Amino acid sequence: MAMGRCEQYEPVAEIGIGAYGTVFKARDLQSGKFVALKNVRFQNSENGLPHSTVREVALLKRLENFDHPNVVRLMDVCTTTRTERETKVTLVFEHVDQDLKAFLEKTPPPGLPAEMIKDMMHQFLSGLDFLHTNCIVHRDLKPENILVTSSGQVKLADFGLARVYSCQMALTPLVVTLWYRAPEVLLQSAYATPVDLWSVGCIFAEMFRRNLIGLPPEEDWPLDVSLPRCAFAPCSPQPIERFVPEIDTLGIQLLLEMLTFNPLKRISAFQALHHQYFQDMSAGEG
Protein backbone atom coordinates (compact mmCIF):
# COMPACT_ATOMS: atom_id res chain seq x y z
CA MET A 1 0.00 0.00 0.00
CA ALA A 2 1.51 3.31 -1.09
CA MET A 3 1.72 5.99 1.56
CA GLY A 4 2.04 9.70 0.91
CA ARG A 5 3.49 12.46 3.02
CA CYS A 6 1.63 14.75 5.39
CA GLU A 7 2.72 18.25 4.35
CA GLN A 8 -0.73 19.03 2.92
CA TYR A 9 -2.34 18.77 6.39
CA GLU A 10 -1.86 21.70 8.77
CA PRO A 11 -2.71 20.95 12.42
CA VAL A 12 -5.09 23.51 13.90
CA ALA A 13 -5.89 22.17 17.39
CA GLU A 14 -5.67 19.12 19.62
CA ILE A 15 -9.17 17.68 19.88
CA GLY A 16 -8.71 14.62 22.08
CA ILE A 17 -6.47 12.11 23.77
CA GLY A 18 -7.71 8.54 23.58
CA ALA A 19 -6.46 5.04 24.23
CA TYR A 20 -4.70 5.10 20.88
CA GLY A 21 -2.98 8.48 20.97
CA THR A 22 -3.64 12.14 20.35
CA VAL A 23 -6.13 13.33 17.74
CA PHE A 24 -5.66 16.64 15.95
CA LYS A 25 -8.02 18.79 13.96
CA ALA A 26 -6.20 19.92 10.83
CA ARG A 27 -6.81 21.76 7.58
CA ASP A 28 -6.28 20.06 4.23
CA LEU A 29 -4.31 22.73 2.38
CA GLN A 30 -5.41 21.34 -0.99
CA SER A 31 -9.17 21.28 -0.39
CA GLY A 32 -9.43 23.79 2.48
CA LYS A 33 -11.58 21.31 4.45
CA PHE A 34 -11.01 20.19 8.03
CA VAL A 35 -9.80 16.64 8.75
CA ALA A 36 -8.90 14.62 11.84
CA LEU A 37 -5.31 13.35 12.17
CA LYS A 38 -4.42 10.30 14.27
CA ASN A 39 -0.77 9.40 14.70
CA VAL A 40 0.06 5.73 15.21
CA ARG A 41 3.46 4.18 15.94
CA PHE A 42 4.24 0.71 14.57
CA GLN A 43 7.12 -1.54 15.54
CA ASN A 44 9.03 -2.45 12.38
CA SER A 45 9.65 -6.02 11.29
CA GLU A 46 12.80 -6.99 9.38
CA ASN A 47 11.17 -5.75 6.18
CA GLY A 48 9.63 -2.55 7.53
CA LEU A 49 5.97 -2.38 8.54
CA PRO A 50 4.40 -5.70 9.55
CA HIS A 51 2.26 -7.22 6.78
CA SER A 52 -0.71 -7.54 9.15
CA THR A 53 -0.63 -3.78 9.80
CA VAL A 54 -0.46 -2.95 6.11
CA ARG A 55 -3.37 -5.31 5.38
CA GLU A 56 -5.50 -3.84 8.14
CA VAL A 57 -4.96 -0.23 7.09
CA ALA A 58 -5.41 -1.12 3.42
CA LEU A 59 -8.80 -2.67 4.21
CA LEU A 60 -9.92 0.47 6.02
CA LYS A 61 -8.73 2.61 3.11
CA ARG A 62 -10.67 0.47 0.61
CA LEU A 63 -13.89 1.11 2.54
CA GLU A 64 -13.61 4.74 1.42
CA ASN A 65 -14.81 3.63 -2.03
CA PHE A 66 -18.20 2.67 -0.56
CA ASP A 67 -18.64 6.08 1.10
CA HIS A 68 -21.13 4.67 3.64
CA PRO A 69 -23.11 7.52 5.26
CA ASN A 70 -22.73 6.06 8.77
CA VAL A 71 -18.99 5.32 8.71
CA VAL A 72 -16.24 7.91 9.07
CA ARG A 73 -14.04 7.93 5.98
CA LEU A 74 -10.33 7.19 6.16
CA MET A 75 -9.25 9.69 3.52
CA ASP A 76 -5.49 9.29 3.50
CA VAL A 77 -2.59 7.43 5.09
CA CYS A 78 0.87 8.97 5.22
CA THR A 79 4.25 8.24 6.76
CA THR A 80 5.63 11.02 8.94
CA THR A 81 8.80 9.57 10.47
CA ARG A 82 10.66 6.29 10.19
CA THR A 83 13.50 4.89 12.28
CA GLU A 84 15.11 1.50 12.32
CA ARG A 85 12.80 0.30 15.08
CA GLU A 86 9.47 2.00 14.35
CA THR A 87 7.43 3.86 11.77
CA LYS A 88 5.01 6.65 12.65
CA VAL A 89 1.97 6.68 10.38
CA THR A 90 -0.72 9.36 10.27
CA LEU A 91 -4.28 8.30 9.51
CA VAL A 92 -6.36 11.11 7.99
CA PHE A 93 -10.10 10.90 8.65
CA GLU A 94 -12.99 13.15 7.78
CA HIS A 95 -13.64 15.55 10.65
CA VAL A 96 -16.91 15.63 12.61
CA ASP A 97 -17.35 18.25 15.34
CA GLN A 98 -18.92 16.23 18.15
CA ASP A 99 -19.26 12.71 19.49
CA LEU A 100 -22.34 11.05 20.98
CA LYS A 101 -21.09 11.63 24.54
CA ALA A 102 -20.94 15.40 23.99
CA PHE A 103 -24.24 15.30 22.07
CA LEU A 104 -26.04 13.55 24.96
CA GLU A 105 -24.48 15.87 27.56
CA LYS A 106 -25.75 18.91 25.65
CA THR A 107 -29.28 17.52 25.31
CA PRO A 108 -31.61 19.44 27.67
CA PRO A 109 -34.07 17.63 30.00
CA PRO A 110 -36.02 15.41 29.66
CA GLY A 111 -33.51 13.99 27.16
CA LEU A 112 -33.73 12.76 23.57
CA PRO A 113 -37.19 12.09 22.11
CA ALA A 114 -37.91 8.38 21.56
CA GLU A 115 -38.19 8.84 17.78
CA MET A 116 -34.77 10.53 17.62
CA ILE A 117 -33.22 7.64 19.57
CA LYS A 118 -34.83 5.19 17.13
CA ASP A 119 -33.48 7.11 14.11
CA MET A 120 -29.95 7.36 15.57
CA MET A 121 -29.95 3.67 16.53
CA HIS A 122 -30.99 2.71 13.00
CA GLN A 123 -28.11 4.74 11.55
CA PHE A 124 -25.73 3.25 14.14
CA LEU A 125 -26.74 -0.31 13.27
CA SER A 126 -26.59 0.42 9.53
CA GLY A 127 -22.94 1.49 9.86
CA LEU A 128 -22.14 -1.49 12.09
CA ASP A 129 -23.79 -3.98 9.73
CA PHE A 130 -21.66 -2.52 6.91
CA LEU A 131 -18.46 -3.03 8.97
CA HIS A 132 -19.41 -6.58 9.96
CA THR A 133 -20.26 -7.42 6.34
CA ASN A 134 -16.71 -6.32 5.48
CA CYS A 135 -15.27 -8.53 8.26
CA ILE A 136 -14.41 -5.63 10.58
CA VAL A 137 -15.11 -5.98 14.30
CA HIS A 138 -15.01 -2.61 16.04
CA ARG A 139 -14.21 -3.95 19.56
CA ASP A 140 -14.29 -0.56 21.27
CA LEU A 141 -17.73 0.92 20.67
CA LYS A 142 -18.61 3.68 23.14
CA PRO A 143 -20.23 7.14 22.85
CA GLU A 144 -16.81 8.75 22.25
CA ASN A 145 -16.36 6.62 19.10
CA ILE A 146 -19.75 7.49 17.64
CA LEU A 147 -19.79 10.87 15.93
CA VAL A 148 -22.87 13.04 15.32
CA THR A 149 -22.89 15.74 12.65
CA SER A 150 -24.75 19.03 13.02
CA SER A 151 -27.55 17.58 10.86
CA GLY A 152 -27.98 14.53 13.14
CA GLN A 153 -26.08 12.05 10.97
CA VAL A 154 -24.42 9.24 12.97
CA LYS A 155 -20.95 8.04 11.94
CA LEU A 156 -18.87 5.24 13.45
CA ALA A 157 -15.23 6.10 14.11
CA ASP A 158 -12.11 4.19 15.27
CA PHE A 159 -13.44 1.00 13.69
CA GLY A 160 -11.18 -1.95 12.92
CA LEU A 161 -8.21 -0.26 14.51
CA ALA A 162 -7.83 -2.34 17.66
CA ARG A 163 -5.21 -4.60 16.05
CA VAL A 164 -3.54 -1.68 14.29
CA TYR A 165 -3.21 0.21 17.55
CA SER A 166 -2.47 -2.70 19.88
CA CYS A 167 1.31 -2.19 19.86
CA GLN A 168 1.02 1.22 21.53
CA MET A 169 -2.30 1.10 23.35
CA ALA A 170 -2.11 3.03 26.62
CA LEU A 171 -3.87 0.77 29.12
CA THR A 172 -4.68 3.36 31.76
CA PRO A 173 -8.00 3.95 33.54
CA LEU A 174 -8.08 7.46 32.12
CA VAL A 175 -8.40 6.38 28.51
CA VAL A 176 -9.79 2.82 28.46
CA THR A 177 -13.50 2.57 29.26
CA LEU A 178 -14.72 -0.90 30.27
CA TRP A 179 -18.40 -0.06 30.72
CA TYR A 180 -19.30 -0.95 27.13
CA ARG A 181 -17.16 -4.09 26.81
CA ALA A 182 -18.92 -7.42 26.25
CA PRO A 183 -18.63 -10.12 28.95
CA GLU A 184 -16.55 -12.36 26.66
CA VAL A 185 -13.99 -9.56 26.25
CA LEU A 186 -13.80 -8.86 29.99
CA LEU A 187 -13.50 -12.60 30.69
CA GLN A 188 -10.79 -12.90 28.00
CA SER A 189 -12.80 -15.52 26.13
CA ALA A 190 -12.90 -15.96 22.34
CA TYR A 191 -14.93 -13.22 20.66
CA ALA A 192 -16.12 -11.96 17.28
CA THR A 193 -18.76 -9.57 15.87
CA PRO A 194 -21.27 -10.15 18.75
CA VAL A 195 -18.99 -8.07 21.04
CA ASP A 196 -20.11 -4.98 19.16
CA LEU A 197 -23.82 -5.73 19.67
CA TRP A 198 -23.36 -5.86 23.44
CA SER A 199 -21.77 -2.39 23.27
CA VAL A 200 -24.66 -1.18 21.10
CA GLY A 201 -27.09 -2.41 23.75
CA CYS A 202 -25.23 -0.52 26.49
CA ILE A 203 -25.29 2.66 24.41
CA PHE A 204 -28.97 2.12 23.49
CA ALA A 205 -29.85 1.87 27.18
CA GLU A 206 -27.69 4.89 28.02
CA MET A 207 -29.60 6.97 25.49
CA PHE A 208 -32.54 6.30 27.82
CA ARG A 209 -30.94 5.10 31.10
CA ARG A 210 -28.83 2.21 32.41
CA ASN A 211 -30.09 -1.32 33.22
CA LEU A 212 -29.06 -4.69 34.73
CA ILE A 213 -29.30 -8.23 33.28
CA GLY A 214 -28.44 -10.31 36.36
CA LEU A 215 -26.05 -13.29 36.69
CA PRO A 216 -26.20 -15.46 33.53
CA PRO A 217 -27.24 -19.14 33.75
CA GLU A 218 -24.53 -21.81 34.10
CA GLU A 219 -25.00 -23.13 30.53
CA ASP A 220 -24.18 -19.69 29.07
CA TRP A 221 -20.95 -19.27 31.02
CA PRO A 222 -17.91 -19.66 28.67
CA LEU A 223 -15.73 -22.73 29.21
CA ASP A 224 -12.49 -21.14 27.98
CA VAL A 225 -12.06 -18.62 30.84
CA SER A 226 -10.25 -18.88 34.15
CA LEU A 227 -12.88 -16.95 36.14
CA PRO A 228 -15.68 -19.30 37.27
CA ARG A 229 -19.34 -18.31 37.43
CA CYS A 230 -19.41 -19.14 41.14
CA ALA A 231 -17.05 -16.19 41.77
CA PHE A 232 -20.08 -13.90 41.35
CA ALA A 233 -22.90 -13.48 43.84
CA PRO A 234 -26.33 -14.70 42.66
CA CYS A 235 -28.32 -11.86 41.11
CA SER A 236 -31.69 -11.93 39.36
CA PRO A 237 -32.34 -9.94 36.18
CA GLN A 238 -33.88 -6.54 36.87
CA PRO A 239 -36.97 -5.38 34.95
CA ILE A 240 -35.83 -3.05 32.19
CA GLU A 241 -38.89 -0.84 32.69
CA ARG A 242 -37.65 0.09 36.17
CA PHE A 243 -34.40 1.53 34.81
CA VAL A 244 -35.51 2.66 31.36
CA PRO A 245 -39.14 3.73 31.86
CA GLU A 246 -39.25 5.72 28.61
CA ILE A 247 -38.53 2.72 26.35
CA ASP A 248 -41.44 0.93 24.61
CA THR A 249 -42.15 -2.82 24.52
CA LEU A 250 -40.37 -3.46 21.20
CA GLY A 251 -37.40 -1.37 22.36
CA ILE A 252 -37.14 -3.52 25.51
CA GLN A 253 -37.22 -6.67 23.36
CA LEU A 254 -34.43 -5.38 21.10
CA LEU A 255 -32.34 -4.18 24.04
CA LEU A 256 -32.54 -7.57 25.78
CA GLU A 257 -31.55 -9.35 22.55
CA MET A 258 -28.46 -7.11 22.38
CA LEU A 259 -27.64 -7.61 26.07
CA THR A 260 -27.75 -11.41 25.82
CA PHE A 261 -24.81 -12.83 27.76
CA ASN A 262 -24.12 -15.74 25.41
CA PRO A 263 -22.63 -14.24 22.19
CA LEU A 264 -23.97 -17.18 20.14
CA LYS A 265 -27.50 -16.21 21.16
CA ARG A 266 -27.00 -12.44 20.78
CA ILE A 267 -28.74 -10.62 17.93
CA SER A 268 -26.60 -9.57 14.93
CA ALA A 269 -26.44 -6.05 13.47
CA PHE A 270 -28.32 -7.25 10.36
CA GLN A 271 -31.06 -8.88 12.45
CA ALA A 272 -31.29 -5.79 14.68
CA LEU A 273 -31.74 -3.53 11.64
CA HIS A 274 -34.77 -5.64 10.65
CA HIS A 275 -36.23 -5.83 14.17
CA GLN A 276 -39.89 -4.85 14.68
CA TYR A 277 -38.69 -1.89 16.75
CA PHE A 278 -37.78 -0.16 13.48
CA GLN A 279 -40.84 -1.40 11.54
CA ASP A 280 -42.84 1.83 11.65
CA MET A 281 -39.76 3.80 10.66
CA SER A 282 -39.11 1.59 7.61
CA ALA A 283 -42.75 1.88 6.59
CA GLY A 284 -42.52 5.66 6.85
CA GLU A 285 -39.38 5.71 4.70
CA GLY A 286 -40.97 3.53 2.02
- Residue 128 CA to residue 231 CA, distance in Å, equals 34
**DSSP structure string for 108-177:** PTT-S-HHHHHHHHHHHHHHHHHHHHTT-------GGGEEE-TT--EEE-STT-HHHHGGG----TTT--
- Residue 243 CA to residue 203 CA, distance in Å, equals 14
140 is catalytic: yes
The three-class DSSP label of residue 58 is helix
Catalytic residue among 76, 129, 140, 196: 140
Q: Kindly list the catalytic residues.
A: 140
